[in-house]
Amino acid sequence: MSIVVGILFAIGTYLILSKTFLRIVLGTSIIGHGVNLLILTMGGLKKGSPPLRGLQAFNFTDSLPQALLLTAIVINFATTALFLVLSYRAYKVLGTDDVEQCRGYADE
Amino acid sequence: MNNYVVLPIIIPLITGMVMVVFKNNIWLHRILSLLAIALIGVDAVFLLEQIKTSGMQTLYLGGWVAPFGITLVADMFAALLVLVAAIVVFCCLCYAFSSIGSERERNYFYPLCLFLMAGVNGSFLTGDIFNLFVCFEVLLVASYVLVSLGGTKIQLRESFKYILVNMISSFLFLIAIAYLYAITGTLNLAHLSVRVAEAGQGGVITAVAILFLIVFSLKAGLFLFFWLPGAYSAPPTAIAAIFASLLTKVGIYAIIRLFSLVFYHEPGVTHLFIGILAAVSMVLGAMGAVAYWDVKRIITYNVVVGVGFILAGFASFSLVGIRGSVYYLLHDMIIKALLFLLGGTIIHLTGTGKLRDMSGLIRLYPQLGWMFFIAALSLSGIPPFSGFTGKIFVTTGTFQSGYFWLGGIGLLTSLLVLYSVMKIFMSVFWGYTSFTTESEKGTTKGLLPSMTFLASLTIALGLGAEGIHAYVDLAVAGLLDPHIYIDAVLGGNGR
């Protein structure tokens, strides 16, 4: 599981370091998934036991990381959607999707 | 249990939602937003009095007791910040009425401000680290939209960078929470403090603490401030003023809260690190402020200096140093809003931000000029104004703890700060008046009252520092002794 997280982080970092808007957005989305998997792994992976603390309290799955995960997915979804819309608008207005051409204060 | 604690979060949230429904009724938006902010202020005053008489106030959401459910905690520090935030946003909204333009007003400017306010208050009042993340996201999403609202070229360009930086820091925040949960098995701040104290702050926990520090440094602009000057100079004046006075302060609040409540066992590592970052950001911020000849750039770099100075006091981790930090934090929220509003007004009047293109404004706008003078003196900590109290306590605190270099850098940079704002004052207000009432690009009509109020507040806070002394001391006591917080939240259970 942690290897998958590592691979997702590597891909995401590579994409964020590239130059076009769309790749950067995809990169943040992939890192977001990596983070979600990491939270799930940190809760401790157990096999097939219910997320309830019954009478035999020896074996139960910790349900809190899954609740955190759900919240994180929703937030990540919303910010990614906003980011995509914004980068499309930036592409329309600025006329370029290359971050190299988005720097500088010459035109202020 | 005290239901007043949740009001600063739900009042702006509900009002904002109601406002979204009535999109075209701008007057309703204005009145409702002012009303909501005023209610938050009144509620904060109530909370202050309750905390003063009967200790910290807590609220267990949904009736789930402390280590299991989400807890809201109002200690003196948080309540003071909620009050000052409400005052500052009130003034910025009054300024926005006559400056923001009907286009932005129609596109949900006021609801967004209220959502931002809900996120800010939530971050101040929460007692749960994951809930802190959620509140951060609420305020960040509102701020993403506010930065790009209007859609000019520079705004779109800067908001892209701003969103990217903040998304990555949010991911790091989640990673740090995941690691901390794996180590301690809890998310409640008070419970975390107990667990970390029991287990001892070993190498792994210190590493997680540094990860948290990186996250909040990105949000607060402590050393990792590369995104800040661009993002804060892009949006219109009222929005930039709200950002400068609130957003970085939320990051500072999170650093102070976590490193005084949870990760306080290894001050030789973590707090020294905070001190070094504070010193570097003071020096770099002052260099930026001195180097530029542009009003907006100079005042945005002054934000960075302020962040460094507040955390320098905290890094000393002594009674006097933290007292100075609290005083300076309250002062900084007011003065940064005032400075951004004044700078924005100058640009609004002359149509340019370049210092070399303007001179002699004091003949036409004496009130504006003198207010700028007061703001400049207060910013650099000249005695009758509010910056002085914080500055003297921070400097004494760093000297007492043996961080002479930190205090020295703080004093040196305040000289540079004074130079940078005096540079604006001299080249904008002094000199030959080439500027006539015909050539002005806008009027000060409707803009002056909110700035006058903030300026008089900085004088009042400077002269009446003794008056809020009791409140500040309670806040400092709560920060220095984690057991007060733990006892208030957990009571007997959890020990």
Tell me the pLDDT tens digit for each residue of B293-350. Answer: 888 889 999 999 999 999 999 999 899 999 999 999 999 999 999 999 999 998 888 8
CB distance B144–A38 less than 8 Å? no
**By CB neighbour count within 10 A (0-12 exposed, 13-18 middle, 19+ buried), where does B258 fall?**
buried
**Lowest-pLDDT range, A98-107, B45-54, B264-273, B353-362?**
A98-107
**Lowest-pLDDT range, B133-142, B195-204, B439-448, B452-461?**
B439-448
What is the reported pLDDT for A51?
Answer: 62
Whether B156 has its CB under 8 Å from any CB of chain A: the answer is yes
Residue B88's nearest CA partner among B44, B29, B132 is B44
Q: What is the mean pLDDT of chain B?
A: 90
Contact present, B240 and B299 (Cβ < 8 Å): no
In angstroms, the separation between the Cα of residue A15 and the nearest Cα of chain B is 12
What is the reported pLDDT for A57?
Answer: 55
Q: What share of chain B is helix, strand, coil (3-state, %, to 5)?
A: 75, 5, 20
A&B contacts, CB < 8 Å: 85
- Cα B230 to Cα A104, B86, B216, distances in angstroms: 10, 26, 19
Nearest CB among A44, A72, A94 relative to B174 is that of: A72
Nearest CB among A21, A35, A93 relative to B171 is that of: A35
In angstroms, the separation between the Cα of residue A18 and the nearest Cα of chain B is 13
**By CB neighbour count within 10 A (0-12 exposed, 13-18 middle, 19+ buried), where does A91 fall?**
middle
What is the reported pLDDT for A107?
Answer: 45
B377, HSE (Cβ side, Cα atoms, 13 Å)? 13
Structural domains of chain A, ranges and CATH numbers in brackets: 2-46+60-102 (1.10.287.3510)
Q: pLDDT at residue A48 above 90? A: no
For B114, other C-beta atoms within 10 Å of its C-beta total 29
Q: What is the mean pLDDT of chain A?
A: 83
Output A2 or A70, whichever has higher pLDDT. A70
> Average pLDDT of B242-256?
94
CB distance B178–A16 less than 8 Å? no
Specify the DSSP class assigned to residue A98.
B
Whether B144 has its CB under 8 Å from any CB of chain A: the answer is yes
CB distance B144–A90 less than 8 Å? no
ipTM of the complex: 0.91
Contacts of B160 in chain A (CB under 8 A): 21, 86-87, 90, 99, 102
Greatest alpha-carbon span in chain B: 72
- If interface means Cβ-Cβ distance under 8 Å, which residues of chain A face chain B? 16, 21, 24, 28, 31-32, 35, 38-39, 42-44, 64-65, 68, 71-72, 75, 78-79, 82-83, 86-87, 89-90, 93-94, 99, 102, 107-108
Q: pLDDT at residue A108 above 80? A: no
What is the reported pLDDT for B359?
Answer: 80
Mutate to test the interface with B, among A18, A38, A41, A96 (most CBs of B within 10 A): A38
What is the reported pLDDT for B253?
Answer: 96
Distance between CA atoms of B376 and B267, rounded to whole angstroms?
Answer: 34
User: Residue B55: what are its φ and ψ, rounded to 5°?
Assistant: 80, -175
What is the reported pLDDT for B374?
Answer: 92
Distance between CA atoms of B290 and B284, rounded to whole angstroms?
Answer: 10
Contact present, B43 and B4 (Cβ < 8 Å): yes
> Average pLDDT of B375-396?
89
Helices (H) and strands (E) in chain A, counts: 3, 0
Distance between CA atoms of B447 and B4, rounded to whole angstroms?
Answer: 33
- Cα B87 to Cα B146, B237, B389, B427, B474, distances in angstroms: 20, 17, 20, 31, 21
Distance between CA atoms of A18 and B136, rounded to whole angstroms?
Answer: 27
Distance between CA atoms of B174 and B212, rounded to whole angstroms?
Answer: 10
What is the reported pLDDT for B385?
Answer: 87
Contact present, B435 and B359 (Cβ < 8 Å): yes
- Cα B308 to Cα A76, A87, B150, B347, B394, distances in angstroms: 31, 32, 32, 27, 11
Distance between CA atoms of B387 and B458, rounded to whole angstroms?
Answer: 8
Residue type present at position B283: V
Specify the DSSP class assigned to residue B430.
S
What is the reported pLDDT for A60?
Answer: 66
- CA angle B19/B21/B27 to nearest 5° reads 45
- Cα A57 to Cα B67, B162, B185, B471, distances in angstroms: 19, 47, 17, 47
Residue of A nearest to B165 (CA): A28
User: Angle between the B109-125 and B76-97 helix axes, to the nearest 10 degrees?
Assistant: 170
Output A99 or B214, whichever has higher pLDDT. B214
CB distance B153–A107 less than 8 Å? yes
CB distance A79–B167 less than 8 Å? yes
CB distance B137–A24 less than 8 Å? no
CB distance A24–B164 less than 8 Å? yes
Q: What is the dihedral of CA B421, B422, B425, B431, to 10 degrees?
A: -150
CB distance A28–B168 less than 8 Å? yes
- Cα B468 to Cα B76, B81, B119, B260, B323, distances in angstroms: 11, 13, 26, 22, 12
DSSP H or E segment with residue B71 = strand B71-74
Whether B129 has its CB under 8 Å from any CB of chain A: the answer is no
DSSP code per residue over B108-159: THHHHHHHHHHHHHHHHHB-BHHHHHHHHHHHHHHHHHHHHTT--HHHHHHH
Q: Which residues of B266-286 are buried (b: 16+ CB within 10 A; e: fewer)?
A: bbebbbebbbebbbebbbbbb
Q: pLDDT at residue B361 above 90? A: no
Residue of A nearest to B156 (CA): A90
> Average pLDDT of B270-290?
93
Mutate to test the interface with A, among B156, B177, B232 (most CBs of A within 10 A): B156
Nearest CB among B137, B151, B163 relative to A93 is that of: B151
Indicate the length of chain B as a whole number: 495
For A84, other C-beta atoms within 10 Å of its C-beta total 15
Contacts of B178 in chain A (CB under 8 A): 35, 38-39, 42, 65, 68
Q: pLDDT at residue A52 above 70? A: no
Q: pLDDT at residue B17 above 60? A: yes
Helices (H), B221-294: 228-233, 237-242, 248-261, 270-291
State pLDDT tens for residues B56-67.
889 998 888 777
A39, HSE (Cβ side, Cα atoms, 13 Å)? 25
What is the reported pLDDT for B495?
Answer: 42
> Average pLDDT of B216-220?
93
Contacts of A43 in chain B (CB under 8 A): 181-182
Contacts of A21 in chain B (CB under 8 A): 160
What is the reported pLDDT for B437?
Answer: 63
What is the reported pLDDT for B38?
Answer: 96
Mutate to test the interface with B, among A40, A68, A97 (most CBs of B within 10 A): A68
What is the reported pLDDT for A49?
Answer: 64
Residue of B nearest to A25 (CA): B164
